């Protein structure tokens, strides 16, 4: 609930509504808001799992941008550029772009 309220304060109510209720994001919005409802009903574990799944569906397009930003942070960028981790994060970024 606080996440949606904070997002509304940052980008405005109309843009928040348009973001959540785009046709191609209805499944993700359903999982996210359904998870919030289930938490409020009294089943927090199941509701949080649904919220997390909906969150990842809603914001999967932003993950490559976040990884690119973290690569520029001094310590975290060094860790992400290590040989084993670098190949995994590049593959995940390419797969997200293709979706």
Q: What is the pLDDT of residues 28-64, one digit of tens each?
A: 999 999 999 999 999 999 999 999 999 999 888 887 8
- Single out the residue of 58, 56, 85, 83 nearest to residue 70, CA to CA: 85
Q: At what angle do helices 26-41 and 13-20 cross, to 10 degrees?
A: 110
Nearest CA among 94, 92, 89 for reference residue 79: 89
Model confidence band, residue 71 (pLDDT cutoffs 50, 70, 90):
confident
pTM over 0.75: no
C-alpha 86/C-alpha 78 separation (Å) is 10
* Burial grade of 97 (CB within 10 A; 0-12, 13-18, 19 or more): exposed
């Amino acid at each position: 609930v606080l996440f949606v309220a904070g997002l509304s304060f940052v980008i405005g109510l109309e843009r928040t509504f348009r973001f959540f209720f785009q046709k191609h994001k209805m499944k993700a919005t359903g999982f996210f808001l359904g998870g919030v409802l289930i938490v409020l009903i009294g089943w927090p574990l199941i509701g949080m799992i649904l919220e997390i799944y909906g969150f990842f569906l809603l914001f999967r397009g932003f993950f490559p941008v976040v990884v690119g930003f973290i690569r520029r942070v001094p310590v975290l960028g060094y860790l992400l550029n290590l040989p084993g981790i670098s190949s995994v994060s590049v593959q995940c970024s390419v797969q997200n772009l293709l979706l």
